[in-house]
Structure 1
Amino acid sequence: MTTKKGESGAGAPFWEKPLSELTRSQWEKLCDGCGRCCLVKLEDEDTGVIHHTSIACKLLDQESCLCGDYRNRRAHVPDCIRLTLTKLQTIKWLPPTCAYVLRNEGKPLPPWHPLLSGDPDSVHRAGVSVQGKVEASEEEVDDEDTPEFIRTWPKRWPRKARY
């Protein structure tokens, strides 16, 4: 397996640098394209516990697990979060496999991450992405039926993806 060097071509690859040193372009490239953050989440009003569902955002391309209109997503989904280093410190619903979470904790990227594998499909083969796991789009489910789609897998490491 070969790794790609950072954009400057010198020193450590950009994904090994502290998140605070990444350019906007490097920050965006850190995303592995799993689509887990694009699943609908429910928050228990009494406890604050976040429950993940198998319902996808209406913009999620369920095959590629990428946003269908990333650049203009906020126009279609006003509550879509633009992840920043500051927000990363407070958001507790990102999956444990998330590259931003891992790097924020000082951990390396896993071998299936596309930046290491050189293959954007490696995240799917490792079972990390939502590919084949989405049960509905948010446009297909009434709000009162959303709790029926609560699942635990978005908060877990898939067995074959562990390292």
Structure 2
Amino acid sequence: MNETPFWARKSLDEMTAEEWEQLCDGCGRCCLNKLEDWDTGEIIWTNVACHMLDGASCRCADYENRHASVPDCVTLDPDLVRSIAWLPPSCGYRLIAEGRPLYWWHHLVSGDPDTVHQAGVSVRGRTVSEEGMEPEDYEDHLAAWPGDDPGEGDQSEIGKSSEIGK
């Protein structure tokens, strides 16, 4: 039996549906509303979360039926992962697509789905809901941290400061 974990030996295209779903680290960053500068194409992050995002778990409140409530919710697939610029740099899908390893806090590595929160990588406690907010008001909620790569630098220090992401 091969002891190398599936994410280290398979490409995104080779993964089963179950393996694919396990790659999500539960950070919730992809569920934040983003703005795009029409002139430059630059992605500008906000802390405005989709109304379907559960702020405690950082997971979709109704993942299986999300398109009924959010018709433009993006369904990731291998080709899309390789072509979109707004996936967070720490996203498991993006890391595997780029041939990089998962970070220590990813539940597939740590064995604990809470380490993404303990490491300060998730959006837990750092968002406002889009519910009742006009899109033009998103500019009042710009945030740089969702686009930061928490794997840069000394990983042993990630999440150990209460200032991470603030």
TM-score computed with the length of structure 1 as normaliser = 0.88
Within the alignment, does 1:44 sit opposite 2:44 as a pair? Answer: no
Unaligned stretches of 5+ in structure 1?
Answer: 1-8
- The alignment's C-alpha RMSD in Å is 1.3
Q: TM-score, normalised by structure 2?
A: 0.87
Q: Does 1:137 align with 2:137?
A: no
Counterpart Cα distance in 1 of 2:132 and 2:11: 40
Partner amino acid, structure 1, of 2:114: D
Which of 45, 56, 60 is residue 67 of structure 1 equivalent to? 60
Unaligned runs of 5+ in 2: 151-156, 160-166
Tell me the equivalent position of 1:154. Answer: 146
Q: Select the residue among 62, 70, 95 that pairs with 2:88.
A: 95
Q: Which runs of 4+ in 1 moved over 6 A?
A: none
Q: 1:123 — aligned with what?
A: 116
1:140 Cα shift?
Answer: 3.5
Following superposition, the deviation at residue 157 of structure 1 comes to 2.4
Q: What SS does structure 2 have at the residue aligned with 1:140?
A: coil
The 5 Å alignment of 1:1-40 reads: 10-16=2-8, 17-40=10-33
What fraction of aligned residue pairs are identical, expressed as a percent?
Answer: 53
How much has 1:10 moved relative to structure 2? 3.6
Distance 1:77 1:160 in 2: 33
